[in-house]
Amino acid sequence: MEKLAIFGGTPIRENPIYYGRQYIDQDDVDAVVATLMSNLITCGPKVEALEHKLCEITGAKYAVVVSNGTAALHLAAMAAGIGEGDEVIVSSITFAASSNCVLYCGGKPVFADIKSDTYNIDPESIKKLITPKTKAVVAVDFTGQAAELNEIRKICQENNLILIEDAAHSLGTIYDGQPVGSIADMTTFSFHPVKTVTGGEGGAITTNDEELFRKLRLLRTHGITRNASEMAHPTDDPWYQEQICLGYNYRMTDFQAALIISQLNKLPAFSKRRKEIVKKYDEAFCKMPEIKVQREIPESDTTRHLYILRLDLDRLSCTRREFFDALNAENTVPQVHYLPVYWHSYYEKLGYKKGLCPNAESYYEESMSIPLYYSLTDEDVEDVIAAVKKVVAYYKK
């Protein structure tokens, strides 16, 4: 058996591959530079053009571009009217921002369990958690695979709940023939560098509802309006603007918007390559009983953001941590997505206890993400597979 690098053997490759990274080309650079030299560098024509482009890609009627994905979630929760005493049902395996947005508004996140094979929020778990105080659901398209949106939408309609879809992972994914972004009441996106498309930072909300759209746009810029019909005290003074509610400065700069537009031109290529890599990984790992491959639902034509390597620890003589460290030493650098949100000490202080969502907890104990991004070469992908096989071979029972 080959000696693992962690025990002094030779690593599979010399330089490390990380779980995610951005891809920036000359077109992106040119788009940013041209915008920097233009008249308006924040919230100008590029932000508006990006909003149009997002509508085109997602099929949504309206898009509001904001400074990051967390701001998008915050505004979505505000526009949904979440406040003191309201409960919002949230996926338990996600980045904390999906749930923090409820806390920002004074609401109470209620964590739903995931399905043990798709890792997405379980519609049955949502049903069980609904009370008279429930106002909304935040469903995350974890790894890029769409949540079971038909079922979840039905539950929301029957119980008069607003559906917020956190699509930070799933730009480019099609669910049941419809692009993500046109399905939920509001869909939020992130353009952080590890996501499929980046602006350095950036976010957006899409919706088909004109009233929600107006609220979102107002909240993005301090709650200040230039529209006389919205004002309590309209005047014909040309300078007059009025603050009619408490909003924020969640604007995006025009040079970030220019970068995102340029990146979106490459989205079809990004999606295609991510799908190819996922297929190579799936083919390699589905033959290995020590590894569980994420189940794909037939409704989701997925542009995958993360590839999850889930271990069957009963068939391995190591812990998840030992596997993680061994893979790292082979220069395939993993990461773990995510700690169940309510395990964070902040949530613990709010009174959430371990044991709430058993599927989420066992998922977390057995999983890590391996490299998945556009610019991985076939050779890189082969190295990742070889590294996983090497570590499995060493530890298999």
Ligand X SMILES: *Cc1c(COP(=O)(O)O)cnc(C)c1O
Binding site for ligand X (CB under 6 A): 68-70, 94-95, 97-98, 140, 166, 168-169, 190, 192, 203
The CA distances from residue 291 to 268, 282, 392, 397, in Å, are 30, 10, 9, 13
Q: CA torsion 100→102→107→108, rounded to 10°?
A: -60
Dist. CA 174–CA 58, nearest whole Å? 9
Q: How far is the CB of 180 from ligand X (least distance, A)?
A: 13
Q: By C-beta, is 68 or 92 nearer to ligand X?
A: 68
Q: Which is nearer to ligand X, 99 or 225 (CB)?
A: 99
Cβ 234 to ligand X shortest distance, Å:
36
Amino acid of residue 96:
A
Residue with nearest beta carbon to ligand X? 69
Residues 256, 262, 268, 274, CA torsion sign: negative
CA atoms of 396 and 2, how far apart (whole Å) = 13
How do beta strands 242-243 and 224-225 pair?
antiparallel
Work out how close the CB of 224 gets to ligand X at its nearest, in angstroms, rounded to a whole number: 23
Three-state DSSP class for 253? Answer: strand
| β-pair partners for 175 | 178, 300
| Residue pair 150/66 in contact by the 8 Å Cβ criterion | no
Residue with Cβ nearer ligand X (115 or 390): 115
Structure tokens at 1: 């058996």
Q: Which is nearer to ligand X, 62 or 95 (CB)?
A: 95
The structure tokens listed for 162 are 């607003």
Residue 167 CB, shortest distance to ligand X, in Å, is 8
Choice between 179 and 202, CB closer to ligand X? 202
Query: What's the CA dihedral at 206, 211, 214, 220 to 10 degrees?
Result: -60
- 66/291 with CB nearer ligand X: 66
Residues with Cβ within 8 Å of residue 271, at least 6 apart in sequence: 172, 196, 303
Least distance to ligand X, CB of residue 314, Å: 29
| Minimum gap (Å) between residue 45 Cβ and ligand X | 23
Q: Smaller CB distance to ligand X: residue 4 or 194?
A: 194
Least distance CB 282 / ligand X (angstroms): 22
